[in-house]
Amino acid sequence: MSTADNLQQQSLAEEEYSYDVVPYPSHPFRQSHPERLASVGNLFGIKPADIHNCRVLEIGCAAGGNLIPMAEGLPDSKFVGVDLSKKQIERGQLNIDSLGLTNIELKYMNCVDIDESMGTFDYIIVHGVFSWIPEDVQERIFEICQKQLSENGIAYVSYNTYPGWHLRGMIRDMMNYHVRNLKDAPRRIQQSRALLEFLAKSVSADKGAYGMLLNNELQLLRRQSDNYLFHEHLEKDNTPIYFHEFIERAKAYDLQYLGESQLATMWIGNFPKDVAQTLERIAPDIVQREQYADFVRNRTFRQTLLCHKDAPVSRALKMESLEGAHVAGNLDEQIEKGKQPKPGDPRTFVNPLTRQTMTTQDPLVIETVMKLREAFPCAISFEDLFQHAMDKMVDGVIADATKIEALKRSLATNIIHMTVSGIVELQYNPSRYTADIPEFPKTSAVARMQAESTNRLTSCRHETVTVDDLSKHLVPLMDGTRTKDQLVAELKRLVDEGKLVIQQKGERPDSLSMDTVMDKAVDEVLSRVAKASLLVKQD
């Protein structure tokens, strides 16, 4: 009997394995995608493996919601996922079979049994697992990274951290005390929520530090799903760790800190100037600086990247770091009502995903932002951005070579600054989706499968996007075999069969205007799914 069976057998004697009783919703996490890990690796000089020809291991993969879309998007790479929940692995396997993917394997096993017979991996992903397992299993995960990460490999490990988790842990302790005598999972969840409501009500009028802190945390928890609440707060193990302690433990396995998957959290320039200056003075090395930054932010969660201790990490970012880079930026402009910006005015842009803002008067930066906005969700290569800057900024047909070099350097400096401050994202591969609507629109097989049962789909940017009902009906039909007119015909069929109801101002349109309504509706769906990065770029 395998260790996994043994462990499940043991826990079944007492109670069923918690992730079989309350499965964890299995989603894509963009920040754990090899593309993101490779971008940080490239930027910090370690030349990671080509994501189109790599091996990826995910520990605690649940039903493969993160790994399966990666495998579809990178068909020449190999993916292995392991999880201790038999039910979740079986569910993932059903999806793999129905998608016909042959480059991914999900294994029901305890990660402690991963051994060298499984080979080495260029990327190892451990998301939402490390804090919820016993210490000896945590040590084993470091050991797997030490022994089975390829030479320039990158491991992603997310975990709960202090100081932020001191407060959250307090709420966890209170809940666990309250449900200490309950065995049944739904009762434990329901009673924990009841305690939360009681506490929220009891402290709502308390304007002191305790009331305010507790209220903030309680509001956050009220919005979380039952599955999240159960596994985050009611599992036996949940051991947050200070960042410096995590890195010390990793060092014992010859691993070093590469960076954070969310680069902007490493940029102390995002703090007020005096805070950044003090951090620089009191914390000369990166680990200390990150630790003090956590103290300032009261950080609760980290997504840390590790690599071997001999990997040539260099965080001095230069123009050369942008070789082969592509830039994506989803930027909104903040404009005062009724005021149109004039040339020379300062302009403020915000990235709605990271909520980072940037104010600039520099025409080069403004032109670049405009170009990125136009292309989003697709990325533009640095070389194309430079060409665009030349077209817009250089007068005359023949320009001075030193002027051109200075322009390139200035563009590179700005792009690097915008990247580390969370305004734009870098990737080292062209986007595999398109913002233009092709003659035969195609969504990913994963999204088509998901749309059969839910409105929450995995985009080609490896994010969850929520689509409207009409899009949900049309996405499964966008398999690259139908033109827009054929999609309209399919939509008509759905309406005729009574599966969809189309109304205009509360009434069914007559057959003549029905055609126009459907034609317009399909156009709108296509532009929405393109904007949501659901349309695959076809060769």
Site for ligand SAM, rule CB under 6 A = 19, 24, 26-27, 60, 62, 82-85, 88, 110-111, 127-129, 132-133, 137, 231
Which of 107/388 has CB closer to ligand SAM? 107
Which of 229/426 has CB closer to ligand SAM? 229
- Please tell me the distance from the alpha carbon of residue 196 to that of residue 199, in angstroms, as a whole number: 5
Which of 11/278 has CB closer to ligand SAM? 11
Which of 127/326 has CB closer to ligand SAM? 127
Neighbouring residues of 507: CB distance < 8 A, sequence distance ≥ 6: none
Which of 86/473 has CB closer to ligand SAM? 86
Give the N- to C-terminal CA distance of the chain in Å, as an integer.
48
Shortest approach of ligand SAM to residue 62 CB, angstroms? 4
Which of 19/162 has CB closer to ligand SAM? 19
**Antiparallel, parallel or unpaired: β 55-59 and 121-126:** parallel
- Please tell me the distance from the alpha carbon of residue 66 to that of residue 44, in angstroms, as a whole number: 25
Which of 113/280 has CB closer to ligand SAM? 113
- Please tell me the distance from the alpha carbon of residue 334 to that of residue 104, in angstroms, as a whole number: 44
Neighbouring residues of 238: CB distance < 8 A, sequence distance ≥ 6: 131, 132, 160, 169, 172, 232
Shortest approach of ligand SAM to residue 529 CB, angstroms? 25
- Please tell me the distance from the alpha carbon of residue 342 to that of residue 236, in angstroms, as a whole number: 60
Shortest approach of ligand SAM to residue 70 CB, angstroms? 13
Element (H, E) at 425: strand 425-427
Q: What DSSP line would sit under 5-63, residue for residue?
A: HHHHHHHHHHS--HHHHSPPP----GGGSHHHHHHHHHHTT--PPPGGG-EEEEES-TT
Shortest approach of ligand SAM to residue 46 CB, angstroms? 25
Shortest approach of ligand SAM to residue 6 CB, angstroms? 12
Which of 168/371 has CB closer to ligand SAM? 168
Helix 363-375 and helix 382-393: axis angle, to 10°? 130
List, in sequence order, every residue forming a beta bridge with 259; answer none if it has no partner: 305
Shortest approach of ligand SAM to residue 231 CB, angstroms? 5
Which among 177, 281, 301 has a CA at the least distance from the CA of 241? 301
Shortest approach of ligand SAM to residue 111 CB, angstroms? 4
**Antiparallel, parallel or unpaired: β 425-427 and 326-328:** antiparallel
Which among 260, 217, 189 has a CA at the least distance from the CA of 37? 260
Which of 6/298 has CB closer to ligand SAM? 6
**How many Cβ atoms are within 10 Å of 312's Cβ, its own excluded?**
10
Which among 239, 250, 245 has a CA at the least distance from the CA of 131? 239
Shortest approach of ligand SAM to residue 140 CB, angstroms? 8
Which of 149/530 has CB closer to ligand SAM? 149
Longest dimension (CA), the chain: 81
Which pair of tokens denotes residue 385?
A: 């951005």
* CA distances (Å), origin 28, targets 36, 65, 110, 152, 311: 13, 6, 22, 24, 28
- Please tell me the distance from the alpha carbon of residue 372 to that of residue 328, in angstroms, as a whole number: 6
Which pair of tokens denotes residue 276?
A: 């950044």
Shortest approach of ligand SAM to residue 110 CB, angstroms? 5
Residue with tokens 């994501």, as numbered in its chain: 51
- Please tell me the distance from the alpha carbon of residue 299 to that of residue 293, in angstroms, as a whole number: 8
Shortest approach of ligand SAM to residue 89 CB, angstroms? 9
- Specify whether the CB–CB gap between 84 and 109 falls below 8 A: yes
Using alpha carbons only, give the angle 140, 141, 142 rounded to the nearest 5 degrees.
90
Shortest approach of ligand SAM to residue 145 CB, angstroms? 15
Which of 84/99 has CB closer to ligand SAM? 84
Which of 291/450 has CB closer to ligand SAM? 450
Shortest approach of ligand SAM to residue 11 CB, angstroms? 11
Shortest approach of ligand SAM to residue 248 CB, angstroms? 22
Which of 62/420 has CB closer to ligand SAM? 62
SS3 154: strand
CA dihedral for 171, 176, 177, 182, sign (positive or negative): positive
